[in-house]
Amino acid sequence: MLDADFMTFRARELLEEPVPESESSLVEFLQSCPQHILRNSISPKHTQVLPGQVIRAKLPAIGFFQFQIVPVVDLQYECPTGALVVKSISWDLFGLEAFGSLHDKFDLKLLGDFRAARKDTRTVLRGKAELVIKLRYSSPLKAIPRSVVESVGQNVTETILRNVKNRLGKKVAAEYSQWLTERAITSVDSGA
């Protein structure tokens, strides 16, 4: 995909979400239920569990000029010590079927890394994510000035990743708090 007709849009986001309890509890949480974390961060009704530590996610529709595009991304996850790492391994786009196969006109790569960390005396969920979208500047986009497509494409890429970051940070913090509560109840029940 190294071609003068391709435009590359890149966005990076950093996450630092305060969470309760200790760093070791957050590490345990990230490693004990990564599938649950990812499905609930996206939406259980818009995800499907596949073999090989993969989740298929149907993301919200994206408006790009007059098109409504629905991305479906297969995300592979792994849990190295103290972290949850996610990367896209395949994708599909719905809403552009009239243009035929898109795999020679478009590419999407997502990489995320989330881990427990300390900030001063607090435990935080720290993460970083990068989204790279490559788009061939071809028909019907050639009817629009390249500079406009580049500007809109970069804006859409940044907005997508910012929305994912905001949703993920809040949802993971909420899931973690619920997990701590359930664990505390289980500890009390087993000690009684």
* Tens digit of each residue's pLDDT (9 = 90 or more) over 96-129: 776 766 777 888 999 999 998 988 888 899 999 9
Q: Dmax over Cα atoms in the chain, in whole Å?
A: 72
Span 30-81, pLDDT tens digits? 888 888 888 888 888 999 999 999 999 998 888 777 778 888 999 999 998 8
Assigned token pair, 7: 């435009």
Q: Per-residue pLDDT for 2 more than 60?
A: no
Under CATH, what is the fold of the domain 6-185? Alpha-D-Glucose-1,6-Bisphosphate; Chain A, domain 4 (3.30.530)
Q: 192 pLDDT exceeds 70?
A: no
| Helix (H) and strand (E) counts in the chain | 3, 8
Share of the chain above pLDDT 70, in %: 92
Confidence band of 3 (pLDDT split at 50, 70, 90): low
For 156-181, what is the mean pLDDT?
86
Q: Is the peptide bond before 51 cis (omega within 30 degrees of 0)?
A: no
Average the pLDDT over 186-191 and give the result. 68
Beta bridge partners of 14: 128
CB of 40 within 8 A of CB of 192? Answer: no
Count of CB atoms within 10 A of residue 26's CB? Answer: 26
- Range list of H helices, the chain: 23-32, 34-42, 146-191
- Residue 163 CA: distances (Å) to CA of 15, 22, 160, 190, 192: 12, 27, 5, 40, 44
- Please give the pLDDT value at position 41: 82
Residue 191 confidence class, pLDDT cut points 50, 70, 90: low
**Position 24 confidence tier, pLDDT thresholds 50, 70, 90:** confident
pLDDT of residue 50: 94
Residue 166 CA neighbour count, 13 Å, CB half:
6
- Contact indicator for 64, 52 with CB cutoff of 8 Å: no
Q: Which residues contact 109 (CB under 8 A, 6 or more apart)?
A: 87, 88, 130, 131, 132, 133
As a whole number of angstroms, the distance between CA 139 and CA 76 comes to 32
The confidence score (pLDDT) of residue 51 equals: 94
Cα 168 off chain centre by: 8
pLDDT at 113: 93
